[in-house]
Structure 1
Amino acid sequence: MNEDIITFKEEAISVIEDAYLWEIISDPRYEPILQALREGPMTVRDLTKKYNQIIYDFIEGLELPTKDKKKKKEELERVEKTIYKYLSALQEKKLVVKAGKRIQVDETGRITKAASENLYGRIAKLYFFTGKELGFENNCEFQNSVPILGKILSMMNNLPEPSIECLSKVLIKIYTRLSDERKELFKKHSEELAEISQNASYEILKTVIQSFDILNSILRASEFSEELRNCFKLKS
């Protein structure tokens, strides 16, 4: 009979700041693997079965003729060799690890001579995308965006053009505050976040963080409103 020996304990949350890495996580080739491994470490054999079942279930939910569904299943189903290749790519990006071994034991609990199988698991129960931290003062994209943003704000609100230096400082303060509060959220409530978000897709999780930033900035608006008004030389 089989016995799984787990040697790696996944983290509650892994914070992804690299947009390219997030694209890999949400890649339709890899996402079913990460979705399947939410259930715990698996062998390549078991993972292949689960992967294909996830694909089949997804296709069954599409409004397609039966023959088209069958064709799509044949196109998207994968064999063990391909799943192993996908796992290697995810391991290279440190999203998946070898989490243990599946061994064969006899009725007395002794290990048999049958070859063991590797178990693969996720680095974390949950992956959250927050966006890469900007270097602000030394970030060309940020510095070049501020004058354009200032003109748009002036145009939309019928205001004089702001001081670019002032607007930059306010934006840096806001971004820094939001970043710090995101980190605090993940640090203090990682287990709770993993629990309440366990069935959410990666795109939903990305939207959650973006919405959290927007709503949190509204709640904090009074802290920055006076400084922002000063950028436009507005009186209180």
Structure 2
Amino acid sequence: MLYWLMKRVLLGPILHLFFRPRVEGLEHVPATGGALLASNHLAVSDSFFLPLVVPRRMTFPAKLEYFTGSGFKGWFKKWFLTGIGQIPIDRSGGNAAQAALDTVIRLLREGHLVGIYPEGTRSPDGRLYKGKTGVARIALEAGVPVLPVIMIGTDKANPIGSKIWKPYPIRIRIGPPLDFSRYAGLQGDRFVERSITDEIMYALMELSDQEYVDIYAAKAKEQQAALALPVQSGDRDRVREAS
């Protein structure tokens, strides 16, 4: 009920008014049964716009920290995220990471639609980065098709670091489902999982106009941070004195 209220009555009309989201390939979304929607990731708002255009209820895993705030603000944030179909996932590693995978697999086996970002984090510069093999492991364990999804314009409406979204037309492309049943029983084989993941990322690249970069987005962010370090550290004063 809360999901329907947020999507159809509260959040949906506002997003439609200011961002005019348009979707291609909606016919590829199955009417029933589980499916994994693997999307590129440009902005936090990706998790708002994609469920908006999909007619069925859709779930996105979200960082546990988003659900653990205190006071009224923390309560409202938890209520809001739950209302738009997000579930808390502990991504601290080890057993927590496995528990996160198990939760997603259970939802898919129960016949739900689940969204996932194979890049693992938002693109730091709008390019498409190497996918992590968790998406392949989930698809094989749950035995569901994978639908490649491309978000376009969300980084313009919701740039990294922005607190207020700007009106901008959003476009969403959903590609034909990818069937990996030929690999059934081979989950855990790292070569198979890498092959599946690369196939998913290739499908995303074909759907989009993004340049593909064969490193992880998290690594790219680390490299950018390292390049920025001299300016952000004590070297700032030395740079200023030399100028």
* TM-score using structure 1 length: 0.23
Q: Which has the larger radius of gyration?
A: 1
- Higher helix proportion, which one? 1
* TM-score using structure 2 length: 0.23
